[in-house]
Structure 1
Amino acid sequence: MSDPAKLKSAGSAPATSVARANRGRALERLSFQTLIGLLGAIAAILLVAPTAIVVVTSFTSGYSLKFPPPGYSSRWYEALWNDSPELIEAFLLSLKLAGTATVLSIVLAVAAALALARRREAWARTVEAVFLSPLMLPTLAIGLSLLMLFNLAGSGLSFGTLVIGHMAITAPYILRTTSASLSQLDAALLECASALGASPLHAFRTVTLPLIAPGIAAGAFIGFMYSFDNVTVSLFLSDARSEVLPLRMWHIIEGSLDVRAAAVSGVLVAATVVLMVVMERLAGISRHVK
């Protein structure tokens, strides 16, 4: 007959091994989560810290860009509003440029997405890759190549060349988000509309467009913001009469380190945060850029 003590010891050994394995997995999982959390925190600090420093510096009471500020005041925001007509003019020009480029990009990108989204042929994927190539190419190369193209064409530089250049960098964002929305669209809805006698234009206006509108809006918002603060393309394609806000700020910082540049940055940061919250509520940007 077996010894009861030996049976009890043999039965508890597997349980002890399982408990040790569970503790090991839990410790490994905790270590992994701690490491990922630490890396995420470092990344967040590196991303947010420059913006936070600029915003804090914009409230300095001094006459130069210095961190930490010797004191705090809203004087530079008041100077931005009362004594900076050139910055306000550049801001309005940037709004006009980004708005015009975004509207024209919506027309072209939506048309391209409708033509390419549901096609699986090799030529369609090639054409789509060409349309999306500005997302991968350096904007410095895009600006220089467009400048050379306009010089060869003999068209010179103007507000129109700026619009064309900004369309080249904003349309891919709208194409990408619109294509993503179209890929999630149920084809049966269009088949039902066609079976009920709707023309292709009527089906697009009443079925397709309302369903893909959030994707279009998300891409348009991203493209607008990218166009508004773009420096490189504007640097190559603007003339003396078309100095947009990013270029004006560049010249201010390069020449005199004027604190108004930090005040402009503070306004832009606040406006961007507000617009992001509004667009997330209306269009769900995060759902369309994954």
Structure 2
Amino acid sequence: MQRSLRDHAYFGTVGLLAGFTMLLLLAPTAVVLIISFTGGITLKFPPPSWSVRWYVELLKSDEIIQPAITSLKVAVMATIGSGILGTAAALGIARSRSQFARLLDALFMSPMVLPAMAFGLSLLLVFNMLAIRLSTATLVLGHIIICVPYVIRMVGASLQQLNPALITASLSLGASRWYTFRRITLPLIRRGIFASGFVAFLSSFDNVPVSLFLADARTEVLPIKLWAILEGSLDVRVAAVSGVIVIATLLGLVLAERLGGLNRPDQNR
């Protein structure tokens, strides 16, 4: 009886803490979504009336659409670049047991550990020392650097679940390493690559510190533009943009689960 009470108390406490944590995480997003449907002209909660006028206004706002397109282009290029480099790095680190590989792993993870503002400033100083002018290319390169750690970690996790006997069997039967990678390794880790690409895209699209330091005067990305708008006024269009991003992210997660089956075990393992 006492054990049953202790179990109920334990699960009740854990459930309460989990619910409180979820409330803290979801409340800001819910508030922004609610405000985005306001009929008023200020960011006021609760909204005085309901309307979709600010979503309609987004379609007419070139000052927001153009930075959004730029952010999409940068995020796509950063995702492709970090996906290729991160996957290659994960393959090299996962297959090596040397101390040098562990050192490289720590080095690749450093962008996740360093303060974001300090890292962005460091990249700016490096480009200045190399006499490289800021451009879209430097911005993409900076985003690739901050996205690579996510790819290495997630692809590395997929490689840890890969049965090495499959690789050994393929090589022992005469297949080349490239053929083995293309027909055995890559299909079995594709979900990890797909998931890491999704996370890398979101990290790049929503990045502020690196974009703030590495974007030139002609390259305006969406997060910086929204920041500038909020500094001048409490424009409700910012809430509408946030609502679009939240909805698009949720749809992306559903689509990723449908296409990639990220939570389903691989039948080939």
User: What per-residue deviation string (whole Å, max 9, x for no partner) do you get for residues 48-91 of structure 1?
Assistant: 1111111100111111111111100000001111x201211111
TM-score (norm 2): 0.95
- Aligned partners of 1:215 and 1:283 also within 8 Å: no
Q: Choose which of 101, 107, 131 in structure 2 pairs with 1:154.
A: 131
Q: Does 1:259 align with 2:230?
A: no
Report the Cα offset of residue 284 of structure 1: 4.4
Runs of 5+ consecutive residues of structure 1 not aligned to the other structure: 1-22
Shift of 1:196: 2.2
Decide which of 9, 25, 43 is 1:47's aligned counterpart: 25
Which has the bigger relative contact order, CA under 8 A and spacing at least 6? 2
Q: Unaligned regions of 5+ residues in structure 2, if any?
A: none
Superposed CA offset, 1:205-241 (max 9, x none): 1111111111111111111101101111101111111
Bigger Rg, which one:
1
Deviations 1:131-173 (A, max 9, x none): 1121222211210100111111111211011011101111111
Structure-1 residue corresponding to 2:96: 119
The secondary structure found in structure 2 opposite 1:193 is: helix
Aligned residue runs from structure 1 range 129-208, under 5 A = 129-208=106-185
Structure 1 residue runs of 4 or more that deviate by more than 2 Å after TM superposition: 280-288
2:97 maps to amino acid:
R
**Separation in 1, partners of 2:113, 2:120:** 14
Structure 1 position 286, deviation (Å): 5.7
For this pair of structures, how many residues does the alignment match? 265
The percent of aligned pairs where both chains have the same amino acid is 51
CA–CA separation in structure 1 for the residues paired with 2:17 and 2:135 = 46
Q: 2:177 is matched by which residue type in structure 1?
A: P
Residue identity in the other structure for 1:210: P
Q: CA RMSD in A?
A: 1.4
Equivalent-residue separation in structure 2 for 1:46 and 1:34 (angstroms) = 18
Q: 2:9 aligns with which of 10, 31, 37?
A: 31
Secondary structure of 1:151's counterpart equals helix
Change beyond 3 A, Cα 1:285–1:151: farther
Aligned pairs for 1:72-151 within 5 A: 72-81=50-59, 83-151=60-128
